[in-house]
Amino acid sequence: MKNWQTLEDLYKLHYEEIYRYLLRRVRKKEVAQDLAQDTFLKAFNGLSSFKGKSSVKTWLYTIAHHTFINWYRRETKYNYNDIDQSVSMEQSLYKSPEAVFDGKVRKELVMATIGELKEDFQHVLVLREFQELSYEEIAEVLDWKLAKVKTNLHRAKLDLRKRLLRREGNIDEMLSD
């Protein structure tokens, strides 16, 4: 309870980060907002269960992760929407139109490929590479052993790299025909 005194402070400190995590998982702005709200409602209602064994941030990520899992299980299909349609994460520095296009194509390719990985790989990649959680925090959020986090992250990166290389090879073949 270092940086916050009230529930409102807690919400202001962590809402945007939790929302971005959920947006990366569901790729729908409205759904991510709803899940973030649900996450904070669960946190506020369960504040008495927080024992302080982990950071508040890790505790909130754990709630967000379980909220996402519950939502995912209820959904009959998983739609992939372009994250660029939901939020813009472009830098404000000038880039050539070609560089902007190449960057967007690459980002779309990576995000689509991550979506093809098995769920455990998706979870660990998003938490580590996009949300920048430590291995220990990821282990706590996913309720895994540290070794499992490291192993799954390594395997996820290898699988992602293999799939990206295969896709890029197919694209190169199509362009050369």
Enumerate domains of the chain plus CATH numbers.
1-86 (1.10.1740.10), 90-177 (1.10.10.10)
pLDDT number for residue 92: 52
pLDDT number for residue 93: 57
pTM above 0.85, yes or no: no
pLDDT number for residue 174: 46
Pair of tokens at residue 102? 């190449």
Give the separation between CA 60 and CA 174, rounded to whole angstroms: 45
- Measured torsion, CA atoms of residues 147, 61, 27, 113, in degrees rounded to the nearest 10: -10
Give the separation between CA 68 and CA 38, rounded to whole angstroms: 10
DSSP H helical ranges for 46-92: 56-74, 83-86
Give the separation between CA 141 and CA 124, rounded to whole angstroms: 10
3-state secondary structure of 53: coil
- Per-residue confidence of the chain (177 residues) as pLDDT tens digits? 455 567 788 888 999 999 999 998 888 899 999 999 999 999 888 877 777 777 888 889 999 999 998 898 888 454 555 555 545 555 555 666 777 677 777 778 888 888 899 999 999 998 998 888 999 999 999 999 999 999 999 999 999 999 988 887 765 554 454
Pair of tokens at residue 122? 């998706």
